[in-house]
Copies of this chain bind each other. A is one copy, B any other.
Amino acid sequence: MSDKQNAFYAQSGGVTAVINASAAGVIETARANGDKIGTVYAGRNGIIGALTEDLVDTSAISDADVSALRHTPSGAFGSCRFKLKSLEDNKREYDRLIEVFKAHNIGYFFYNGGGDSADTCLKVSQLSETMGYPIKAIHVPKTVDNDLPITDNCPGFGSVAKYIAVSTLEASFDVASMAKTSTKVFVLEVMGRHAGWIAAAGGMASTDLDLPILILFPEITFDRKVFMGKVAEKVEKYGYVSVVVSEGVQGDDGKFLADQGLKDAFGHAQLGGVAPVVANMIREDLGLKYHWGVADYLQRAARHIASKSDVEQAYALGEAAVNYALAGDNSVMPTVDRVSDNPYKWEIGKASLDQVANVEKMMPRDYITEDGFGITDACRTYLGPLMEGEDYPPYKNGLPQYVMLDHKMVDKKLEPFEI
């Protein structure tokens, strides 16, 4: 066993357009510090890969392919939705982690994820104290939900924001063209079950143009009558309107609007989106012709229209994670600290994981206009920089050249483990 310890890196939760840029930041920075740190082993499918000893040997990945991760969306090593239980509830999993770390001489743990993953990373960071296994555990932030505290924003969000703003802009031009004899309302459903950050981005489409856009935030209880009044008012004034609706919008019964008890011809419940529900209400109440779209995965995988500042931050945070670990930090998360809005300047900071895990950053109420259907200037000042700049992937034959890695797996040394 060398005195240089190896690193474990994994991706967790919903993937984004730039999480692989963080992976590139981790791997390239580790390679540049080859005198101090050994091989980066990537967990196949997040923490599950650590438990089942499914480790990808990233030393087998060419420099060119690592570099290509920077412009490749989604999780190159596979992600997972899996939260470690507490030590009391499942000591077996912690014992196993230590067994795997020991077997592969792993002294660094980089976990790339959102709120739940920060909790997992916090638990791993406490292995020194709780189980006597020394480890440097660093959380690399990532989530399109933008709901991690302390950091200015979360990698992945800026690119979704850009995608939704651009799409809302483009769809608004479309419905404006059609409104005279056909569609007058376009409804776009976006992600964000708890916080309206992504929905807010739809409002950025009107940064330079006077476009009629109504936003339905999860933070604002849906009032059908008030909303219909707004729709009618916009259509009266502009001839058309775009509605950006968060999947998490709730009625005053506290239920998601999306759960409207839709049933198919056989009486089976239909798990639907909220866009068709809202569009249908508009038809019923106002008789207006509509179209609706549901962006779903397209929004968070849209590396082709990623925000440059988002890509740069995702990479820088991966890089910082390795540097912090090498400097001896444990149980921290590198953060983006905003220095100025315009021009957008930022630097890398550091937060203690116990202040990050299980804390959700919600939209400030003063980012939403008083009527509840738009964004304020304060919100624009915050969001604008996150969407700044383009960072196009290379293309061949009309398609982005995303890399799909061959996973060279590390030889297993342990008995299988059942999750």
Contact = CB atoms under 8 A, between A and B. Distances in A.
Interface of A: 11, 14-15, 17, 44-45, 48, 72-76, 78-82, 162, 165-167, 169-171, 173-182, 186, 188, 204-205, 207-209, 260-265, 268, 270-273, 275-277, 279-280, 283-284, 291-298, 300-305, 307, 384, 387-390, 392, 395-402, 404
Contacts of A396: 208
B264 A260 contact: yes
A298 B261 CA distance: 27
Nearest to A276: B272
Contact of A176 (B14, B74, B174, B204): B74
A1 to B, nearest CB: 30
Contacts of A169: 399-400, 402
Nearest to A265: B261
Contact of A280 (B261, B264, B395): B264
A301 B173 contact: yes
Contacts of A208: 396-397, 399, 401
26 contacts: A74-B176, A76-B177, A78-B179, A78-B180, A81-B182, A165-B399, A166-B304, A166-B399, A167-B302, A169-B400, A169-B402, A170-B304, A171-B301, A173-B301, A208-B399, A208-B401, A209-B402, A261-B264, A264-B280, A270-B270, A270-B280, A272-B276, A273-B294, A304-B305, A388-B398, A389-B395
Contacts of A387: 397-399
Contacts of A262: 262-265, 270
A352 to B, nearest CB: 29
A268 B280 contact: yes
Nearest to A388: B398
B80 A180 contact: yes
Nearest to A300: B174
Between A11, A180, A181, the greatest number of chain B beta carbons within 10 A of the residue's beta carbon is seen for A180
A45 B180 contact: yes
A167 to B, nearest CB: 5
Nearest to A11: B177
A255 B276 CA distance: 20
Contacts of A165: 398-399
Contacts of A171: 296-298, 301
A83 to B, nearest CB: 11
A46 B123 CA distance: 64
Nearest to A387: B398
Contacts of A263: 262-263
Between A17, A174, A392, A397, the greatest number of chain B beta carbons within 10 A of the residue's beta carbon is seen for A174
